[in-house]
Homo-oligomer: A and B are copies of this chain.
Amino acid sequence: MFGFCVLASSANADETLTRARALFKALPESAQEASQLDPIDQNRIDLGRALYFDPRLSASGTHSCNSCHNLALGGDDNRADSVGHGWQSAPRNAPSILNSVFNEARFWDGTVANLERRAMGPVRTGVELSNTVDQIERTIGSMPQYVDWFAAAFPNEAGPVSFENTARAIEAFKSTLITPSRFDSYLNGEEGALSPEEIEGLALFIDKGCAVCHNGINFGGHDYYPFGVFEDPDADAQAIGYRARFVVTETVVDDRVFRAAPLRNVALTAPYFHAGSVWELEAAVGIMADTQLGERMTDLEVSKITAFLKSLTGTFIPLEYPLLPVETSTTPRPSEEVLPY
């Protein structure tokens, strides 16, 4: 009887792997493979790393990309809302930068406008870095070391120092921020990379319907869904007043529509949901079951799904903290001016 159970369990595990392979995708091995951009090179990645950590991309000289998407903390800031220029709050919970190169893949159309919007939107947002295109170009252009780095990273361009290339360099760096996890080893066929409990959690994640929205390479991050399909989230989780995707579409039905959050490294990126209203992963799983699936899960089911989600915590290879170019007499000085949101 015992032998039969093990056999059955093993058959189920095989079936789970087969189903998982149809829904999810393992991370690629290299940054180049990860990147949907032009061929990238180390000069561009190194430049992007410097820019990513450079607080002089903000008007005040205090906020860098890394301030809210902190690579020491799983690529986010572990706050409900982020603190930006003038101690203003950004209106959404900061998502992790890790593996985010894959998030907007289907919206990626290769145009400059989109690239700028993705990498450099926060730089120009009043409540975030509150800077301007002109000032960023003047800041970078005032430091000979940056000018050299841009020339090396964009060798065939007449005027390599530009806002657009700043975005492109940061994108190149971002494409290196990939965190393969035990789940990827499992998907790639390594037996035993997941524990039996985690495999059961994965099966539940598929069976219960979580994977309808949270699928693909990042377990989400590629489409928008209403928050509260079956049941309204409580007021705290919902953060009433947030207008969600309505802001983009100006369609009333989108008033509570948000991107399905990518779930890689989710165990590192509390608090959860668009408003960062929930700090416990188990609680977030329970709320999702209630509101999105219309099903009250048992504690054991929540516990297994949570165990599976923790297997998505990846390995991040520590990187070198950059030494940034020295300012000169023409570098714009820190400004307290607050730009409109």
Cα distance A53–B73 in the bound complex, in angstroms? 10
Q: Which residues of A contact B (CB under 8 A)?
A: 53-56, 60-62, 67, 70-74, 77-80, 83, 86-87, 267-268, 270, 279-280, 316, 318-324, 326-327, 329, 333-334
Cα distance A327–B327 in the bound complex, in angstroms? 36
Per DSSP, are chain A's interface residues mostly helix, strand or loop, or mixed?
Answer: loop
Which of B53, B67, B72, B321 is A323 in contact with, Cβ under 8 Å?
B72
Contact A333 B279 (CB under 8 A): yes
> What copy number does this chain have within its complex?
2
CB neighbours of A329 from chain B (8 A):
279-280
CB neighbours of A280 from chain B (8 A):
329
Contact B72 A327 (CB under 8 A): no
Closest CB-CB distance, A79 to chain B, in whole Å?
A: 5
Cα distance A73–B329 in the bound complex, in angstroms? 16
Q: With contacts A71-B321, A72-B322, A319-B320 known, is A56 near B83, CB below 8 A?
A: no
Contact A55 B74 (CB under 8 A): no
Cα distance A83–B86 in the bound complex, in angstroms? 9
Q: With contacts A86-B87, A320-B320 known, is A327 near B62, CB below 8 A?
A: no
Cα distance A319–B320 in the bound complex, in angstroms? 6
